[in-house]
Each structure stands twice: as C-alpha cells, then as structure tokens.
A and B are shown apart, each in its own frame.
Chain A
C-alpha cells in the first residue's frame, strides 16, 4: 500500500519476487503417482497411431518409388527427351516422398522428449579459418572466456566494442579491465584506425556476482576535454559492463571524493545506458580493417535494418545493407527470417558476408537467437554462411584472441 504513491525500484521488485509464497500441491504423492501410472498405460495407444501413420506413408512411398523406377527401367528404348523427363519425375517424386516421410517422422517424434523437441531445425554455427577476416566471433570451447573492451572511432563519435577472447582465463574481469589499452597497442590502433581512451589512470573493481563496479581515479585526475567525451565514456562503460548486468558505476577518487567527469560535472556514480536494440554498421577508416559498431537504438528490427542502409561518410560509417536491397522479414519467438528480393551486389562476396555479420549482430541486439537469410542468387552460401539455414547469432564482435 505504501508504494501506491511512490516509485517501485527495481531492487524492491526483485526482493519481493524472491519472497513470493510457495504454492503447494494439494494432492498426495500416492494419488499423483496413480494418475501418472494411468497416463503411462494410456500412452502406447497414441504412440501406435503416431508410429503407424508415418510408417504407412513411408511404405506407400517406397512402393510408389519402386513402381516408378521399375516402369522407367522397363522402357529403356524411349527417346532421350522422354527418358530425361522420367528421370526428372522420379527424382522429384522421391524427394517429395522423402519430405512427406520426414515431416510425418518429426510429428511422430513428439513423444521422444529431448531439449530440442520444440525447435528441431538444425542451427548452424559458421566455421572460420584463421585467415578469414571476420568481424564476429563464436566461442570455440566452453573454457573460452570473452571480455568486452572498447575503443573509439577517429572522430570520437562512436564507442567500438572489442571482444577479448581468452582460451585460458582466470575469468576475473579485473585482470582485463585494468589493462584495457595493453590489448590495443599502437600497431593495432593503426591497423584498425581506432583511438583508445586514456584508461590507464583508472582502476576498475568489478564484482560480477553482485553486479557492482567501482572506478577509482587519482586525486588529481583530469578527465579528457571535449563536450561529447563524457557521453562517449559513459557509452564505453555501458558496452564493457553490459554483460555483467551492471547498471551504475561508483565513481570516486583514491580518497573517496567525487570525480569531475567532463560535462557531467562532479559525480559519485555514473548510470549506465541499457544499450538494447542497437543497429550495427561497419566502421572503416581509410581502407583499414573494418569493424562492427553499434550506432543507434532503433524502435524495431525493421527500423534497424532500414537504418543499416544509411551510410555516414563523415564518420567513416559504411551502410552494411546495400541501398538498392529490398527485403521482407518473418519473425518467430527466437528466429528472424530475412528474404531479400532485390539487391544487385548481393552474392558470394565480401560485401555480402559483411552485411550478414552486421545483421547477425543487430539481430542479437534485438534478442534473436538465430537468423535465416535468403538471397536472390542461386548459391547456397556466402563466405562462411549457409543460406536458408538458421545461423546462430555470434558470441563476440571485433574479436582479438589472446595468447
């Protein structure tokens, strides 16, 4: 009652959720077991029907296939054109039958309970060669740990996330966030065309179990000048700590005093941005290595994909989706289907491969797990990406593998 006139804080809601009462099953264990037992006894009838249907379909399909093949073999002297047509029809019939059988089979598999029984379609994780210049990363082993560090573009307009991939990590984020710029030496900055933020004076203390972060600076700390730097810095921290669910960073000097943080003035804490529904585009400075960068928040995935057709030449931002491309979307709970109907440059080329990587990252920002891409060209793959297949969204972006 007391909260009617005041705001519910997130922490209040979380606390109350943990206090939700235990709802008891009122029936006894014995009564319940009898019900389960009865249900188990009923089950075989269903299974018989489900099993019989596809089996009969399969049997009929095989008989038909046999008759058609037999018919073709018995008439070998017909003219070539006719023979070709027969071959074609046999292939088509048999594949159609296969499809029917397989559809029925998956229906019959309803009783086989696995973790994948709702979404049984295969999900593809692209394979990369070490020489591939991919902008996205998929975890190769469970032992691999990923940490997001950040840099900025040359004009200090965008925060660029960089995934550090450590195959043998301590999993302590403080080991990484307190030497961010050591992972981005000058030669790497040059090859990417990026700038680093002066993180060296800042000590981060991240407690990811408690989703807390503290940044401590020396008493005489001087924040870089520039009206938009504070905002860029906030965006950088938001990108870095997003995966730890950290909403705010405690900001203090070594003696516990507030810190003057550019246009934000003197502060003791910095609220982080949610950075959801981001639209990824390509940052490429003077033909250096391209990088994916979240550029803006979009209201919907449709808007995000439209925005991905807009370039920003002054900031070296390339539109990943060609301007002339036309596409349609179909969305299910976790999958995004994109069918391109137009796009002259779309095909098995680097530009399309980069477009796919940008789409995968944008889809990930919109909480999709997989993306199916269909292009108006005959090939079944673009670079490492299989077309018309569920491609898993990546684990990391602009990755640097350590060791």
Chain B
C-alpha cells in the first residue's frame, strides 16, 4: 500500500490538491476530499484495468468525490434553511471563505477571477480548472468528465463567456 501511495503522491499529489482546492476553496475540506480520493484509489488500484491512463482515472475519482461532497453540502444547506431560517435564502447561508495566502499576494485581476469562478456551475468550474489551471488536454478532460470532446469545448466556451460577463 505504501508503495502505491508513494508513487501516486510523488506523481500527482500537487495537481490533485490543486484541482480539489480550486473546486471547494477551503483547505480543510480539500484535505478531507483528497484523503478520501487516496483511500478509494488504494482500495481499488488492484482492479484498475488500465482502460484509461492512471492520471485520468485518478482525476475521475477526484471529480466524483468532489461532486459527492457538493451533494452532501447541498443537503446540509437545505436542512439548515429548513431549521433556522424563515427569511434567509440558501445563498445567504453560504459563507464567504477567506482568500488563501497564494491568492492574497496575487494581483487584483487574479483575485477577481478567483472570486468569480465561484459563480460558474460545477461543470464549468471543473472544465476551467482542468483545462487552464491544470493544462489538461481536451481529450484528457473529456475522459475525466466522461463527456464527449464537443461537450468539453462547449462547456469551456460557455464558462469563459460567463466569466467575461461576471468580470464586467
């Protein structure tokens, strides 16, 4: 197990952490999700058939684990709305997370993009992160998302358009 862990950590940990962090924007939640991804990978590595590349397989697991996290979070928020709020909307309950140090020291434009990324849909965010922040190819992104190439292209195009609208 340690050998597989070491190999994955060495090859992919930086990118994996980066992907999850930009999705959830919280270091504690990122650590939990990344940990869960490793558990899944280590448990199922023996059954990995190599139909896709190891990296694509890992990021597909990371994507699903992050989606599960969002689903659970959404359910929690629904319950919170029901329990504690008569007038507040779900949106009001979403906490504004502090900017990470790396973003704070970046220029104003980077900070704006980082914040506006939050307003994109989950699909759009994933495609943006994979394509631009992590430099995955369209084919790799399509494999990770389980989509067609044309769907990746369209989602990417719409995401950039959306960011463009939000930045004005």
Stretch of A34-42, A92-100, A214-222, A229-237 that contacts chain B: A34-42
Q: Closest residue of chain A to B42, judged by CB?
A: A40
B164 touches A13 (CB 8 A): yes
Q: How far is the CA of A38 from the CA of B115 in the complex (A)?
A: 35
A16 touches B9 (CB 8 A): no
Q: Does B93 contact A (CB under 8 A)?
A: no
B150 touches A243 (CB 8 A): yes
Whether A22 touches B154, Cβ cut-off 8 Å, given contacts A8-B168, A112-B44, A113-B61, is no
A1 touches B43 (CB 8 A): no
B44 touches A10 (CB 8 A): no
Counting contact residues on chain B (CB < 8 A from A), the size range is 35 or more
Q: Does A77 contact B (CB under 8 A)?
A: no
A40 touches B133 (CB 8 A): no
Q: How far is the CA of A93 from the CA of B153 in the complex (A)?
A: 48
Contacts of B60 in A (CB 8 A): 115
Contacts of B39 in A (CB 8 A): 36, 39-40, 43
A115 touches B57 (CB 8 A): yes
| A to B contact number (C-beta, < 8 Å) | 125
Contact with A along B22-66 (1 / 0, CB 8 A): 100001001100111011111110010000100001001100100
Contacts of B21 in A (CB 8 A): 23
Contacts of A80 in B (CB 8 A): none
Q: State which of A3, A18, A35, A333 has its C-beta within 8 Å of the C-beta of B35.
A: A35
Q: How far is the CA of A26 from the CA of B30 in the complex (A)?
A: 11
A23 touches B64 (CB 8 A): no
Q: Does B7 contact A (CB under 8 A)?
A: no
A23 touches B109 (CB 8 A): no
Chain B, interface SS category: helix
Q: Does B151 contact A (CB under 8 A)?
A: yes
Q: Does B86 contact A (CB under 8 A)?
A: no
Whether A111 touches B160, Cβ cut-off 8 Å, given contacts A17-B128, A21-B110, is no
A17 touches B44 (CB 8 A): no
A29 touches B9 (CB 8 A): yes
Contacts of A10 in B (CB 8 A): 160-161, 164
A23 touches B22 (CB 8 A): yes
B146 touches A113 (CB 8 A): no
Q: Closest residue of chain A to B103, judged by CB?
A: A21
Q: Does A19 contact B (CB under 8 A)?
A: yes
B114 touches A20 (CB 8 A): yes
Q: Does A33 contact B (CB under 8 A)?
A: yes
Contact with B along A97-127 (1 / 0, CB 8 A): 0000000000000011111111100000000
> Apart from A16-B109, A369-B147, what 6 extra A-B contacts exist at CB < 8 Å?
A8-B163, A17-B132, A22-B18, A25-B30, A29-B9, A117-B64
For the complex of A and B, the 3 pairs showing the least CB-CB separation, nearest first, are A17-B132, A21-B102, A25-B17
Task: Give B residues with C-beta under 8 Å from A.
Answer: 1-2, 5, 9, 13-14, 17-18, 21-22, 27, 30-31, 34-36, 38-44, 47, 52, 57, 60-61, 64, 67, 100, 102-103, 105-106, 108-110, 113-114, 123, 128, 132-133, 135, 146-151, 153-158, 160-161, 163-164, 167-168
Task: Give A residues with C-beta under 8 Å from B.
Answer: 1, 3, 7-10, 13-14, 16-27, 29, 32-33, 35-37, 39-40, 43, 111-119, 243, 245, 274, 276, 333-334, 367, 369, 393, 395
